[in-house]
Amino acid sequence: MNQFPTLTSGVICMTPATIGTGFSTRVMRFCDDTEQRWVARGQHGVFVLTFTDISGIDLANLLDFFRSVKGRFDATWTLAINSTTYSNMALDSDDFVVVEQRPNCFSLQVSCKQVVDDPQVIAGNHRQGQSS
Amino acid sequence: MIYYPQIGTNGMMVQLPFSQTFSHLTSVSELDSGPRQSYAWRPNPLKAWDLSYAALEPIEYETLLNFFLGQQGRYAEFTFLDPGGNMVPASENFADASWEKDSTVVGASVAGPFSGSVATTITGTTNGMLASTVLPGGGAIALLLCGSVYVLSPSAGALVLGFIDSGFTLLASQSCSLPANQWTRISFAATLTSLLPVRLLIGGLNSWNGPLSLFGAQVSPLGAAGAYVRTPGNYGVHSSVRFDTDPLVPQYVGPGQIALKLRLTEHA
């Protein structure tokens, strides 16, 4: 099972980082203005990890991870952040976009989420700060 | 072989900010009942590049314009030597078959120059060498390439970096000084012309008498080494690339200054 890599500095990501929670509710609205709702998926973690001006070796580690999980394909990897390990993670996108703003300084964002319900996710857990 | 042009005397191909996109292609079905099914269509991601030229000189723009006209916009295919990639096929695995070894033995793994990285001990006789093909299609015409490698030597010495063609003709070389017991990235840039495939040469020419530790061999189409890029994860030779636009729309931003944005896409 893959694990999201840490940077050479030892942290998972930089600020700002989004560590959120989400649900997946289906809504069917009918012609007579009535509706039916049901829970497709319960509480799960939603994450946006930011990397600003990281080095080539850190980028190489992240890129190796992206290639190993094949974008959105793999939904079995784990993310260890703030002393909590989130399992059954999947990337939100098949695209891995890297911008070199200054020589040898790379910036990118990684959006990912849990694909199974996880009761350890605390509602409203939205944190900004260096995450490790 | 048609290469995307280097448009400056320093090998400039892109300006900052330089954006690269690695794209997988996945079909995903998330069923309401919970299960998730996914299928990966590509074994490896394809790349796209957003090239943003903030200030080109007219002669540089003309070089790009002529190349664009030659490709007829999105129509024709060319090879892009990726400034954000590494033209060495296996940058950290010197035991890989892509490395030709002569009087050289690839030994044990040792700690590399970066946290968590793994380097390789190389032993060899005085004239031992390693060579890896970096331009398999050949056809270099005044092409500026920069080779580099991280080296740890137990004693002060020197190591040759160079470029040879597939016929072992020495195209260019430089003896690089090595300090004792300190990871050092040595690099060497040269403008090459050869119709044959080009290879990076490490060692040889009576330059060293091991053992040495090596990590991260790299060749970039630049005048300097640039950020280290690992392969096979981010290979730098892309032979199936096209422009992603039919109109070329320059913006004249000042006297003798032209801004231009281009997107290149790789195809399977």
Is A67 close to B233, i.e. CB distance below 8 A?
yes
- DSSP letter for each residue of B58-94: HHHHHHHHHHHHHHTTTTS-EEEE-TTSBSSS-SS-T
Q: What is the ipTM of this complex?
A: 0.83
Confidence of residue B33 (pLDDT cuts 50, 70, 90): low
- Residue pointed to by tokens 């990871």: B183
Of B34, B116, B233, the CB nearest to A63: B233
Predicted TM-score of the model (pTM):
0.86
For B150-194, the three-class secondary structure string (H helix, E strand, C coil) is: EEEECCCEEEEEEEEECCCCEEEEEEEEECECCCEEEEEEEEEEE
Of B22, B115, B117, the CB nearest to A96: B22
pLDDT in tens, B151-182: 999 888 889 999 999 988 999 999 999 999 99
pLDDT in tens, A54-108: 999 999 999 999 999 999 999 999 999 888 899 999 999 999 999 998 888 999 9
Q: How far is CA B140 from CA A41, A102, B4, B121, in A?
A: 56, 29, 11, 32
Rounded CA separation A95/B206 (Å): 47
Helix (H), strand (E) at residue A81:
strand A77-81
- DSSP label of A129: S
Confidence of residue B183 (pLDDT cuts 50, 70, 90): very high
Question: What average pLDDT does the structure give for chain A?
Answer: 86
Residues of B in contact with A115 (CB under 8 A): 30, 36
